[in-house]
Chain A
Amino acid sequence: MSTPTPRVRMPATAKAGEVIEVKTLISHEMETGQRRDGAGQIVPRKIIKKFTATFNGKEIFSADWASAVSANPYQAFFVKVPETGTFEFSWLDDDGSVYKATQKVTVS
């Protein structure tokens, strides 16, 4: 498997206090732990179990995902932009890996 690539779509500028939609996607097979391989062995579970969004270091939104979340998990939600700052998004894998993406938003 290639390294999961996170993608984030959101505006780079906003008015103070504006509500914007954040759309995120990460390439990941989200192996459920239910499937069997060609030899009849159960393929061990490997999913992203937690998604977290912070703004200037403060947690603003998070999601706990179970194996029922589709492959290449998509997560969209809304945030308020009080001031110029940086959004950081992180995805925690079952194996302990953390994948990250950041997006700076400038308040004009």
Chain B
Amino acid sequence: MLNPAPQSRRDFIVTTALTTAAVAAGSTTALAKPEDVAAEIKKLFGDKPITAGRIKLDLPTIAENGLVVPLNFKVESPMTDKDYVKTVHFFADGNPNPQVASFNFTPMTPRAEAQIRIRLAQTQNIVAVAEMSDGKLFTAKQEVKVTIGGCGG
């Protein structure tokens, strides 16, 4: 994977599939990797600086059932017409797809806070990126240990 020579698409797919299979040990589904999450974030925001902080994640450190993992979050913001949280994106680095959900707030939502329930295929990191109305970006990350995976595994 660190080979500097340009790879063909086919070689890349084969190598990726083999690596993922080795990592997932028996799982038939190719799972995302931390690089995929980084790539998704780059696709959305390019090379804009992202600061750690302002997002408070409330996730279990150990989830017994990966099918239903409660995800609560809160972003510090006055939520006024001039200064509010526009969107909070969530990614998971060990699911079949890195995307989890995005939440779009407005000044009519007085708290940049929401709750959902998500599926996690295995122990992995949840990464949040909050985009403020002035374009500033903040991030937070938390690992969730999963006892029973949420994708049929």
Contact = CB atoms under 8 A, between A and B. Distances in A.
Interface of A: 19, 32, 34-35, 55, 58-71, 73-80
Interface of B: 29, 67-69, 92, 95-97, 99-106, 108-111, 113-120, 150-152
27 contacts: A34-B29, A34-B151, A60-B109, A61-B105, A61-B108, A63-B102, A63-B114, A64-B102, A65-B101, A67-B96, A67-B119, A68-B100, A68-B120, A69-B116, A70-B67, A70-B68, A70-B116, A71-B67, A74-B115, A74-B116, A77-B109, A77-B115, A78-B110, A78-B111, A78-B113, A79-B108, A79-B110
Taking chain A's interface residues, is the majority helix, strand, or loop, or is none over half, making it mixed?
strand
User: Across chains A and B, which 9 residue pairs bring their CB atoms closest together, nearest first?
Assistant: A66-B99, A60-B108, A76-B115, A70-B117, A68-B100, A78-B111, A77-B114, A64-B102, A62-B104
Given A61-B106, A78-B110, A79-B108, A66 B116 contact: no
